[in-house]
Amino acid sequence: MNKITRETLLHEYFKQWTKLFKEGAVRPVTLEKYRNNYRHLKAIVPNLKLYELDRTVYQQILNHYAYTHERQTVIDFHHQIKGSVLDAVDEGLVDRDPTRKVIFKGKAPRVKKVKFLNQFDLHSVLADLNLEQKISWDWLILLIAKTGLRFSEALGLTPTDFNFVKQNISVTKTWDYKGEGGFLPTKNKSSIRKVQIDWQLSMQFQQLIKDIPEDMPIFINGPVCNSTPNKWLEKHCKNVGAPVISIHGLRHTHASLLMYAGVSIASVSRRLGHSSITTTQKVYMHVITELENQDNDLVMRYLSGLS
């Protein structure tokens, strides 16, 4: 590793900083984002040295990045670069914090696709599934729709994770479908959890997995890519005239329908394995806002009856 000085190029410093502080400390998918941002940084300011970095230059970097990225992506880029820059300030490689009071710009966001189904459409999609007595992508679709598991969590399930007496599933690992395959840890500590399942799903899977070795992932039979089950789900959505969503959209559907049914945000958050309720609130703000409007109507009706 080259010695870092004030003359070191910014992108070279960021590359070494990522290797030193992030490799082995963050998930592979997050590490790849750091590496991708290094490539962007090198392309934007290939010759910028650490001592030349100030607020104006840093803002210009963000502005340049914003030409081809949405505002939220610019913010994510800033957070990763900022971490290294603040360390450079602490080490005296950069005179002052150049990341203060930055302005975030970006391209207009794309039209958002529908991320979840309403209850009617979900029922229609599930009714269209071909649930034979052997493991298939249709069974994975049903499982995620009823549990809200992440795709990688569902792929990581083995027969030992099912407790048919207590009717729950233990989520303790994931499957590395983006890499070489094999088991990986969960996304965070909060993702390690037990998810209750209904009696019908319990009985169905008890029969389905009875002949699968206890430590074998039940949905894995060779290399896996999420595009395959996504296409499988797309076919069912089109068959019943429902909006086309992704496998991850089933997780959103599960959470949204639970909240509409009156399940508390705290319970939904634990079921999803979110690191905090704040994460759940952020992702499902549209649902929460709609429910608050309904609550306001109930409050007004109640108050008007007190007179």
Q: What is the pLDDT of residues 20-38, one digit of tens each?
A: 999 999 888 899 999 999 9
Q: 162-163 and 168-171 as β-strands: parallel, antiparallel, unpaired?
A: antiparallel
**What is the pLDDT confidence band of residue 292, given thresholds at 50, 70 and 90?**
confident
Q: Domain-by-domain residue ranges, the chain? A: 10-90, 121-247
Predicted pLDDT at 114 = 64
Q: Which fold has domain 10-90?
A: DNA polymerase; domain 1 (1.10.150)
DSSP 109: P
CA distance 251 to 256: 9
Nearest to residue 208, comparing CAs of 195, 218, 196, 199?
Answer: 218
pTM: 0.69
Largest CA distance in the chain: 77
Mean pLDDT, residues 291-305: 76
Question: How many angstroms separate the CA atoms of 92 and 95, rounded?
Answer: 6
Residue 112 binned pLDDT confidence (cut-offs 50, 70, 90): low
The pLDDT of residue 31 is 93
Fold of 121-247: hpI Integrase; Chain A (1.10.443)
d(CA 193, CA 289): 28
Neighbour-count burial for 245-274, b at 16+ CB within 10 Å, e otherwise? bbbebbbbbbbbbbbeeeeebeebbbbbbb
**pLDDT category of residue 179 using cuts at 50, 70 and 90:** confident
The mean per-residue pLDDT over the stretch 131-141 comes to 94
